[in-house]
Structure 1
């Protein structure tokens, strides 16, 4: 453990389409774009996250379908 943060592997578009639920948390969505959690939350706060973000109660979620569309444009 020792204070080192484990790096998450970037999922493939095929993995996202096949296994992700309709909405994911911001940290999970950040891995798909290859960005840090803090960068993702910064973009969400500025309404600049590259996929559709929705608030459910106190949670911020990213719509997987919009994430797939955004990644499809990138590839």
Structure 2
């Protein structure tokens, strides 16, 4: 189930790719592909082989900024 914008606003400062994909309504594998091609429409940081999405950036994207 896709979370509401109000629910996303209550999330931690960074989230994993799975949560971000749920918020966007896309598959986790599709979001990984976007990240690997530097085409994610929001800020993503990497820690070794792990990626974290900046929640505030995701919210701005979902709000259409």
Q: TM-score normalized by structure 2?
A: 0.92
Aligned alpha-carbon RMSD (Å):
1.3
Name structure 1 gaps, 5 residues minimum.
1-8
Name structure 2 gaps, 5 residues minimum.
none
**Residues of 1 paired with 2:50 and 2:16: CA distance?**
8
- Number of residue-to-residue matches in the alignment: 65
Moved over 6 A (4+): none
Task: Kindly provide the CA deviation profile for residues 36-67 of structure 1, in whole angstroms up to 9, marking residues without a partner as x.
Answer: 01100000000111210001243210000000
Q: Tell me the SS of whatever aligns to 1:48.
A: coil
Question: Which residue in 1 is equivalent to 2:45?
Answer: 54
Q: TM-score normalized by structure 1?
A: 0.80
**Residues of 1 paired with 2:13 and 2:31: CA distance?**
19
What pairs up with 1:18-57 in 2 under 5 angstroms? Answer: 18=10, 20-57=11-48
Q: Which has the higher contact order (CA 8 A, sep 6+)?
A: 2
**Residues of 2 paired with 1:50 and 1:34: CA distance?**
14
**Residues of 2 paired with 1:57 and 1:39: CA distance?**
20
